[in-house]
């Protein structure tokens, strides 16, 4: 029996496997930490367990007093130890309305990143979150990566509860600009996360191709976005986009007596690799649609070259709020009136029977 074909197949398989390389640089599962109070220094002056720092502060007058309950290590059934950020019921001693922020962060990621193998220029940040619900007026949970200048490279936002135009359990991801330390461009995830369950979130930065990816593996959903500017790994100089800071924070506003739930996070993994995830069907459909003129002043035309019927168009602003929605009777070409929108960047979610396309629109 001639074994050469099988040997050739085996060699080809091994060669292909070696082309895709993933390198774990840093991992945090909180198992080595003491259960209970994580940190008593909420000024960020001294590190807490494992080299993390914590801060809790004011966003309005009469701040929410820093509480040891803002930063805890708790035991989770079938999960082990996890980190819990914020759990507070606003008492009667507070003013009728408070707004505050609690953060946990570390600033040594570049030390790990510089240990990556040559060619592994795709950064991957994965973590597990528990999709809590909240009774507070407004609460958003963030995970973000920053460069040395405190500029956001990529970030994730999960809304527990907020005002009417953003649905509960809304999730988005985005990136910053050179001039702002926040997510200057935000894109809705396009799906609603299940509640009261652990969900794995993955963020990617492709430094070679100036793209970021957002993925929820359990829902088989991955989307991509071009960065707002070219990425640089040169180290130092005017532009340096090496990852330095990882920050997890909760921004909340509540009336007296409301409960701020925060969120639980676990299994933070920071990796370098030489490949990117496969985008989902929605990104494939997005490539089939055209939106013109763009930028636009009053009316835009939406077409596609596959004769896909448009059922609904939803317009999101830069922070993920729904600002306009139109239903249609399954047409492959339509016009959208945007004259009442303020100048700025928007995302059109174009719903079809085959999936949802997402296109960026600039309103003059």
Q: Report the C-alpha gap between 107 and 52 in whole angstroms.
A: 8
Q: Report the C-alpha gap between 196 and 264 in whole angstroms.
A: 11
The verdict on 256 and 300 lying in the same domain is no
For the chain, the residue count is 364
Asked whether residue 182 carries a pLDDT value surpassing 60, the answer given is no
Q: Is residue 156 part of a domain?
A: yes
Q: Is residue 132 part of a domain?
A: yes
The CA–CA distances, whole Å, from 183 to 62, 150, 179, 193, 215 equal: 27, 11, 11, 20, 18
Examine residue 35 and say whether the peptide bond preceding it is cis (omega within 30 degrees of 0).
Answer: no
The verdict on 286 and 208 lying in the same domain is no
Q: Structure tokens of 202?
A: 């993955």
More confident residue, 285 or 5: 285
pLDDT, tens digit (0-9, with 9 covering 90-100), for 121-161:
999 999 999 987 665 567 778 899 998 888 888 888 887 75
Select from 219, 238, 273 the last residue of a domain.
273
Question: What is the CATH classification number for the domain harbouring 318?
Answer: 2.60.40.3080
Lowest mean pLDDT among 6-10, 208-212, 243-247, 330-334: 6-10
Asked whether residue 316 carries a pLDDT value surpassing 60, the answer given is yes
Q: Is residue 299 part of a domain?
A: yes
Q: Find out whether 143 and 201 touch, Cβ atoms under 8 Å.
A: yes
Q: 236: closest CA among 175, 153, 154, 148?
A: 148
Question: What is the CATH classification number for the domain harbouring 207?
Answer: 2.60.120.200
Q: Report the C-alpha gap between 136 and 335 in whole angstroms.
A: 39
Q: What pLDDT, on the 0 to 100 scale, is given for residue 110? A: 96
The verdict on 49 and 134 lying in the same domain is yes
Q: How confident is the model at residue 1 (pLDDT cuts 50, 70, 90)?
A: very low
The verdict on 349 and 252 lying in the same domain is no
pLDDT, tens digit (0-9, with 9 covering 90-100), for 96-110:
666 778 889 999 999
* DSSP-derived 3-state class of residue 286: helix
* DSSP-derived 3-state class of residue 13: helix
The verdict on 243 and 149 lying in the same domain is yes
The verdict on 63 and 157 lying in the same domain is yes
- Could you say which DSSP state residue 43 is in? B
Q: Is residue 292 part of a domain?
A: yes
Select from 239, 273, 307 the last residue of a domain.
273
Domain that holds residue 305: 281-363
The verdict on 123 and 262 lying in the same domain is yes
| Structural domain count of the chain | 2
Q: Report the C-alpha gap between 41 and 352 in whole angstroms.
A: 51
Q: Is residue 36 part of a domain?
A: yes
Select from 256, 273, 290 the last residue of a domain.
273
Q: Is residue 222 part of a domain?
A: yes
The verdict on 28 and 121 lying in the same domain is yes
Q: pTM of this prediction?
A: 0.71
Q: Is residue 13 part of a domain?
A: no
The verdict on 241 and 98 lying in the same domain is yes
Q: What pLDDT, on the 0 to 100 scale, is given for residue 286? A: 78
Q: Report the C-alpha gap between 214 and 277 in whole angstroms.
A: 9
Q: Report the C-alpha gap between 86 and 38 in whole angstroms.
A: 11
Q: Report the C-alpha gap between 211 and 205 in whole angstroms.
A: 6
The verdict on 252 and 339 lying in the same domain is no
Asked whether residue 246 carries a pLDDT value surpassing 70, the answer given is yes
The verdict on 307 and 339 lying in the same domain is yes
Q: Is residue 165 part of a domain?
A: yes
Q: Report the C-alpha gap between 337 and 298 in whole angstroms.
A: 6
The verdict on 235 and 268 lying in the same domain is yes
Burial 197-211, CB ≥16 within 10 A → b, else e: ebbbbbbbbbbeeeb
Helix ranges, 182-340 (H): 281-286
């Amino acid at each position: 029996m001639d074994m050469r074909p099988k040997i050739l197949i085996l060699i080809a398989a091994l060669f292909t496997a070696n082309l895709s390389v993933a390198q774990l640089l840093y991992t945090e599962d909180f198992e080595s930490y003491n259960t209970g109070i994580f940190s008593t220094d909420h000024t960020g002056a001294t590190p807490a367990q494992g080299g993390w720092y914590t801060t809790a502060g004011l966003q309005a007058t009469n701040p929410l007093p820093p509480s040891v309950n803002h930063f805890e290590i708790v035991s989770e059934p079938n999960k082990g130890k996890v980190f819990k950020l914020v759990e507070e019921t606003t008492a009667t001693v507070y003013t009728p309305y408070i707004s505050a922020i609690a953060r946990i962060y570390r600033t040594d990621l570049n030390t790990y990143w510089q240990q990556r193998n040559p060619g592994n220029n795709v950064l991957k940040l994965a973590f597990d979150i528990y999709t809590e619900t909240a009774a507070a007026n407004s609460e958003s949970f963030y995970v973000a990566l920053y460069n040395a200048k405190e500029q956001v490279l990529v970030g994730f936002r999960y809304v527990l509860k907020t005002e009417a135009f953003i649905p509960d359990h809304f999730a988005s991801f985005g990136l910053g600009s050179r001039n702002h330390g926040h997510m200057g461009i935000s894109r809705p995830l396009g799906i609603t996360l299940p509640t009261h369950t652990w969900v794995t979130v993955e963020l990617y930065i492709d430094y070679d191709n100036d793209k970021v990816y957002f993925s929820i593996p359990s829902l088989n959903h991955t989307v991509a976005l071009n960065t707002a500017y070219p990425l640089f790994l040169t180290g130092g100089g005017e532009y340096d986009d090496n990852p330095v800071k990882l920050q997890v924070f909760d921004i909340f506003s509540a009336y007296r007596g409301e409960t701020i739930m925060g969120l639980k996070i676990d299994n933070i993994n920071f990796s370098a690799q030489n490949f990117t995830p496969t985008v989902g069907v929605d990104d494939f459909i997005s490539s089939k649609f055209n939106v013109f003129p763009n930028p636009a002043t009053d009316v835009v035309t939406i077409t596609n070259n596959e004769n896909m019927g448009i059922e609904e168009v939803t317009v999101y602003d830069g922070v993920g709020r729904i600002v306009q929605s139109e239903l249609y009777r399954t047409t492959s070409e339509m016009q959208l009136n945007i004259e009442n929108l303020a100048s700025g960047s928007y995302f059109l979610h174009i719903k079809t029977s085959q999936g949802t396309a997402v296109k960026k629109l600039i309103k003059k």
